[in-house]
């Protein structure tokens, strides 16, 4: 993971980026070795507890583009043996009728702040979806899942592809505007019905089919607040 993130950083810097903020955003958010990254980067590690979650830091200053590195498909998708959405306590999450990934949540967060999403790397299923959402996005599929297994390209090949793709992504970043819906309807299908019951007391949420908690709003930031208390902390 460190090598792939370093490759994305090198590519961005080579293409003219003045500075790169790296958000470590898996599990404990203390996975990446900052000593192996280019010296011009800044690193955001661990969890602040704010509503932006994996995108923490984006609202604090002006950014020209976002890259997502090492991303996986959504909960219930067979394209990655580790497919999930935020945690393993839900069967799936739907957003405006679409099966929802962490990529989709974070892409809309970037769109909320008017920041293009220029590149994503990870499994093929997610990369295919990303191109449907943002046609101009640069993608680097490095693996493809089937059942409980996954087939990956060589790590050195992945690093080379990511660095080259990052340089191209910077050039075309302005074309990668995230299409923001006017309204949002989120449904979280929990594994356990009693968790859904407890979470449906969130203001404005309601329960459907015993295990599904729903929420509607026209403000993406309110979806982030709902996710913070209902999805992420389930």
Using CA atoms, how far residue 16 sits from 10, 36, 61, 227, in Å, is 10, 20, 18, 35
Give the pLDDT confidence score for residue 234 in this predicted structure. Answer: 61
By the 10 Å C-beta count (0-12 exposed, 13-18 middle, 19+ buried), 225 is classed as middle
187-221: b (≥16 Cβ within 10 Å) or e: bbbbeeeebbeebbeeeebeeeeebbbbbeeeebe
Which residues have a Cβ under 8 Å from the Cβ of 153 and sit 6 or more positions away?
142, 143, 161
Phi and psi at residue 121, to the nearest 5°: -125, 150
Specify the long-range contacts of residues 191-194, CB closer than 8 Å, at least 24 apart: 191/88, 191/89, 191/90, 191/91, 192/89
Q: What is the pLDDT of residue 60?
A: 56
Residue-wise pLDDT for 151-199, tens only, equals: 999 999 999 999 999 999 999 999 999 999 999 999 999 999 999 999 9
Tell me what pLDDT residue 34 has. Answer: 95
HSE of 149 in the Cβ direction (CA atoms, 13 Å)?
Answer: 1
Q: What does the angle CA 126 – CA 38 – CA 127 come to, to the nearest 5 degrees?
A: 10
Task: Give, rounded to a whole angstrom, the gap between the first and last alpha carbons of the chain.
Answer: 27
Cα–Cα distance measured from residue 106 to residue 97, given in angstroms and rounded to the nearest whole number: 17
CA atoms within 13 A of residue 7's CA, in its CB half-sphere: 23
Residues in the chain predicted with pLDDT less than 50, given as ranges, are none
| Structure token pair of residue 141 | 């599929």
**Which residue is listed with tokens 């792939």?**
4
**pLDDT at residue number 62:** 84
Give me the pLDDT at residue 233, please: 75
């Amino acid at each position: 993971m460190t090598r792939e993130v370093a490759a994305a950083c090198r590519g961005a810097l080579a293409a003219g980026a003045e500075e790169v903020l790296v958000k470590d955003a898996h599990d404990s958010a203390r996975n990446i070795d900052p000593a192996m990254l280019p010296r011009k980067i800044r690193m955001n590690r661990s969890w602040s507890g704010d509503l932006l979650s994996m995108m923490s830091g984006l609202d604090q200053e002006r950014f020209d583009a976002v890259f997502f590195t090492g991303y996986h498909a959504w909960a219930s998708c067979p394209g990655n043996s580790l497919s999930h959405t935020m945690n393993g306590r839900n069967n799936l999450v739907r957003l405006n009728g679409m099966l929802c990934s962490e990529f989709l949540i974070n892409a809309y967060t970037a769109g909320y702040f008017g920041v293009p999403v220029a590149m994503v790397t990870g499994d093929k299923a997610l990369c295919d979806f990303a191109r449907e959402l943002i046609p101009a996005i640069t993608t680097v599929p490095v693996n493809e899942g089937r059942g409980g297994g996954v087939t990956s390209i060589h790590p050195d090949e992945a690093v080379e592809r990511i660095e080259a793709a990052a340089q191209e992504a910077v050039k075309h970043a302005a074309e990668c505007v995230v299409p923001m819906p006017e309204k949002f309807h989120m449904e979280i299908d929990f594994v356990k019905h009693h968790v859904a019951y407890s979470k449906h007391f969130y203001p404005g949420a309601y329960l459907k089919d015993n295990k599904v908690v729903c929420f509607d709003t026209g403000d993406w930031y309110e979806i982030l607040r709902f996710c913070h208390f209902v999805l992420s902390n389930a």
